[in-house]
Structure 1
C-alpha cells in the first residue's frame, strides 16, 4: 500500500493519483520528488519463481527477495547469521545439527512457517523426480526430522566441514501449498508464477517480458524492513538501451555494464560505479557428444589456439583475470601452481594434423575426410562483452583454419538449448556458490541433474570428487584438490577463460547500497533512498 502526505492538492497531484488508481506506478527516481519504485535493470525475464526449478542467476536474484533460507550467509562466506532459524547447535558426535526457528514468520497467505516446511523442502530437494539442480549438495544429509513446530534436526552420514552450508543451501518453500502436488505437475503449477512467499518482499505483478514488480511484505519479521517498499525488476534486453536508461534515470541500478563504458559513467554526475571480484567464471564449453570435441587432444589444441590473456585484456581491461582452474582463486583449495596451456597456434596446428585435420590445397581451412572443422558457437543476446569475446575467439580460431559460426540466441532459448545439450560449443559464465564444490559441474552423475552440460566423464575425477567431499581435514584434502584441478584442466571439458569483476552501476537516488559476493541484491531489504537526491 502507498501512503501520501498531502498538504495542498494541485492539478499535477490529482493526475498522479489518477494514474496510481489505475495501477500505473511512476518509476525512475530522478524524475520525481519522492521515490515510487526502485528500478533494477535486468537483461532477460525470469523463467520461474519456483526455487526448485530455477537454473539461472536472474531467477535466483528475484527469489532472494521472495523466500527465506534457514540462515543468512555472511560476506566472508561459510559464516552464518540467524534468519528463519534464530539459533542452531551441533550434536556431540557432530553428525547432527538442530535448528530452532523463529515463531513470528508467516507465508504470504497468513499461514505460519514451521519446521514441517523445512523438512518438506529437503524432501523435494532430494526427490529424483524433480531433479533439483543442486541436489548433490544434500547427499550427505541422511534425514531431516521435525521435533515440533519450531525445532528441526538435520542428520548427516558423517562429519565434514560444509554441514551448515549444505543445510542452508536452497530457499524454504511452503509445505501446505505444495505437499499434494505430484512430481509431474511441478513444471506447470501456478506456484511457479504466483508463489506463496515469506521473504522481505512479495510478488505484486509479473508482466511477462516487461517487468516483475515486488512490494514490501507487511509481515516481514525484521521490523522496519525493507526500507524501500516497491521494487521493479525491469527487462531491457538491449545492453545499449539499459545503459541509456541508467544514465537518464529510467533505471536506478544494474549489473554487467561494458568496461568500455565505466570511465564515462564514473564521470557522469549522479551515477556511481562499484566493482569487486565475482564468484563466477567465464568459459568456452565443448559438447563432448559432438564428434568434433571427443578428443582431449583436440580440446587442448583449441585452448592453445586462443590468446586468452590478450582477448580478456581487450574485452575486460582490469576488470577480469585469466582463469586456469575449475576452482576460483577466492577458495582455499585453489591450485596456484597449475600451468596454463600456452598460446601456441603452431603447436595447436601440429596437434590437429596428428589428429587427421589438415589444410587442403591452400584453402586456409582444416579438413578431415573431406569435411571442414566447422561448428556453431552459441551464446546469448544482451551481453556485448560476451558477443565481442565470441568475435575475437572466432578470429583466433580462423587463423589455424577453424570456422566457428557465432549464433546469438534470446536468453530463454539459449538456456533451453544449453540445458538439453542442443549445441556444439557454448560461450557463457557461471556463478558459483560459497561451497567448494566440483561435483555439480564435473562429476558424471551431474550430467542428468546438474551443471555438467558438456557430457564430460572421467572416472578418476569422479572418484576424487567423492573422496575430497568427505575429508574433514583441509591439509590432507588440499593435495587431492590440487590433483583434481590438474586432471580437469588437462581434460579441457571447457576452455577456462576468466574470473570477472562484478561491475554495478547505481544512481545517486540510492544511499550507498551494501553488496554481497553471492548476489548484488542479497541485502536489498537493507537498502534505502538517498533523500537528498529528491
Structure 2
C-alpha cells in the first residue's frame, strides 16, 4: 500500500499537491521511478532511496497510505472524484463509522489496530459547526468536549464562569493574509495558464507594498487577537527560530508613505472624485472573505476604511466557505482574505514555486525564489539551509505578493472531563487514541 501510494503521489496524472515530496527520490528519464525509489523488503520493512541528503526526508515519508486493493484500477486523472473516496479505509486507531458531509464524522475504535493501538474511547464524533457563537455555546453546555479556535474575546468569560473548561494555546503555525492577484487571472484561466501578464491593479510591487503600508494590521490584531497574535513578516513561522530573518521588520502603518508609493506607480486622482486612477482605470476592487468568519469580516472592514483614506475604493463580499476556497484554488478572486497553516518542516514550494502550483493563490512568480527554495530543500542540514530561507524572506518582504497579516496562536477549549489530551505544535488531536472520559473535577495536572 505504501509503495502504491507513492506511485500515485508522484504521478503527474494525479496532480497531487504533495508531488514535490518525491522529487528527491530516484527518477528515470525525468519521471519518478517508484520501483527504483522504493523497495519493499517484507510486510514490516520498506526502504526509500533518495538522491541526496536533506533535512526534510523524514517528513516526506509521512504521506498517508492509500489502499491498493481499492484504487489499483482507478482512473488516476479522476482520483479526486472516485466513488471510493466516500467510504475511506484505514488501519489506524479509529475508522470512519459514519460520515454526513458538512455535518459530522463518527469515528469508531478499530479493534484490529496494532500500530499504535485501538482507540480507548469507543467513539469520537467530529461535528461541523460553522457559526462561532453556536460552537462556543456547545462548549459551555458540555455537549462538545474539545473545540477550537476559541476567540480571544471569549477567554475572560470562560476562565471566570466555566471552571470545567480549560484553555490551551497552540504555537503559531497558521497566519492570515490578504491575497492580491499578481497576474491577470482572467487571461490566465482563459489561456489555460499560458498567458501570464501583470494584474492591472496589483501587478506592481510598489502597489502591493503600498497596500500593506495602508492597512493598520496592528490595530486589527490587537482588537481581535490581543496577546494571541504576532504581526507577520513572511510565511516562515516563528516556530522555526533557526530560519527566521530577524533583520526584517514588519511594515508599519504609514498611509502617507502608501500614497507616495502609489504616486510613484502612476496612480493619481485625475478627476477629483477621491478615487485613484491610472490610464482610465479606477483603483477599485472587491475584497472577499469566507462567510461566517467574524475576525476576517472585521479585518476587511478596517482595511476597506484604511484604503479609502489613500484613494482606493473597496467593496466587501462574504462568500460561502466551500465556494470561497474553490474560487481561490481556481484563481478566480483578485483580492481575498484567507489563511494558511504551515507544516512541521519548511517547504513553501506549493505556495511560491511554480505559478501553477495549487496553493499559489496569488499567482506570484520570481526566478530567484525558485532557486532559493531548491537550494534550501537540497541542503544537508538546517544550518546549511537557513541562509537560503532568510534570503527568501527578504524577497517576499520586498515583493509583498500578499499582505501578511498576523500569526495566530489558536486557543483550544477542552472540557476537563476529557483526559489524556496532548495539545502541542502537532495540533489538538495528537495521540487522540489515548483520550479518556473522567470526572471533570478529578484532574491533577495538564
Same fold (TM over 0.5): yes
Q: Aligned pair 1:287/2:168, yes or no?
A: no
What's the CA shift for 1:153?
A: 0.9
What's the CA shift for 1:362?
A: 4.2
Q: Aligned pair 1:260/2:153, yes or no?
A: yes
Calculate the aligned-residue CA RMSD, in Å. 1.8
Residue-by-residue CA offset, 1:104-126 (whole Å, 9 max, x unaligned): xxxxxxxxxxxxx1111111111
Q: Aligned pair 1:272/2:166, yes or no?
A: yes
Pick aligned residue for 1:327 from 225, 231, 236: 236
Please give the secondary structure, in 1, of the residue aligned with 2:130: coil
Distance of 1:511 and 1:474 partners within structure 2 = 36
Distance of 1:473 and 1:175 partners within structure 2 = 34
Q: Aligned pair 1:493/2:386, yes or no?
A: no
Partner of 2:432: 524
Partner of 1:16: none
Q: How does 1:504-519 map to 2 (within 5 A)?
A: 504-511=412-419, 513-519=421-427
What's the CA shift for 1:222?
A: 5.0
Distance of 2:288 and 2:363 partners within structure 1 = 16
Contact kept, 8 Å, 1:255 with 1:504, in 2: the verdict is yes
Change (3 A) 1:342 1:184: same
Q: Aligned pair 1:138/2:1, yes or no?
A: no
Please give the secondary structure, in 1, of the residue aligned with 2:113: coil
- Between the two proteins, the alignment pairs up a number of residues equal to 415
Q: How does 1:336-351 map to 2 (within 5 A)?
A: 336-351=246-261
What's the CA shift for 1:509?
A: 2.4
Unpaired segments ≥5 residues, structure 1:
1-116
What's the CA shift for 1:246?
A: 1.4
Partner of 2:194: none
Residue-by-residue CA offset, 1:133-161 (whole Å, 9 max, x unaligned): 12212211221122233321100011112
Contact kept, 8 Å, 1:134 with 1:450, in 2: the verdict is no
Distance of 2:203 and 2:120 partners within structure 1 = 53
Distance of 2:239 and 2:85 partners within structure 1 = 34
What's the CA shift for 1:286?
A: 0.9
Pick aligned residue for 1:409 from 316, 319, 324: 319
Distance of 2:77 and 2:420 partners within structure 1 = 45
Please give the secondary structure, in 2, of the residue aligned with 1:162: coil
Residue-by-residue CA offset, 1:460-502 (whole Å, 9 max, x unaligned): 1111211121111444432222112101211111111111102
Change (3 A) 1:366 1:382: same
What's the CA shift for 1:532?
A: 5.1
Partner of 2:196: none
Q: Aligned pair 1:457/2:365, yes or no?
A: yes
Partner of 1:4: none
Please give the secondary structure, in 2, of the residue aligned with 1:291: coil
Unpaired segments ≥5 residues, structure 2:
27-36, 184-198
Q: How does 1:51-130 map to 2 (within 5 A)?
A: 117-130=1-14
Distance of 2:375 and 2:116 partners within structure 1 = 45
Pick aligned residue for 2:71 from 175, 178, 191: 178
Contact kept, 8 Å, 1:258 with 1:384, in 2: the verdict is no
Change (3 A) 1:264 1:364: same
The alignment's TM-score, normalised by the length of structure 1, stands at: 0.74
Contact kept, 8 Å, 2:8 with 2:76, in 1: the verdict is no
What's the CA shift for 1:224?
A: 6.1
Q: Aligned pair 1:301/2:195, yes or no?
A: no
Distance of 2:296 and 2:309 partners within structure 1 = 20
The alignment's TM-score, normalised by the length of structure 2, stands at: 0.89
Q: Aligned pair 1:149/2:43, yes or no?
A: yes
Change (3 A) 1:139 1:422: same
Pick aligned residue for 2:331 from 405, 416, 421: 421
Please give the secondary structure, in 1, of the residue aligned with 2:40: strand
Q: How does 1:187-202 map to 2 (within 5 A)?
A: 187-202=80-95
Change (3 A) 1:404 1:160: same
Distance of 1:499 and 1:532 partners within structure 2 = 32
Contact kept, 8 Å, 1:165 with 1:435, in 2: the verdict is yes
What's the CA shift for 1:190?
A: 2.1
Please give the secondary structure, in 2, of the residue aligned with 1:359: coil
Contact kept, 8 Å, 1:280 with 1:500, in 2: the verdict is yes
Contact kept, 8 Å, 1:138 with 1:167, in 2: the verdict is no
Residue-by-residue CA offset, 1:424-462 (whole Å, 9 max, x unaligned): 11211111111111212111x2x3343112111101111
What's the CA shift for 1:191?
A: 2.1
Contact kept, 8 Å, 1:279 with 1:518, in 2: the verdict is no
Distance of 1:134 and 1:389 partners within structure 2 = 31
Please give the secondary structure, in 2, of the residue aligned with 1:243: helix
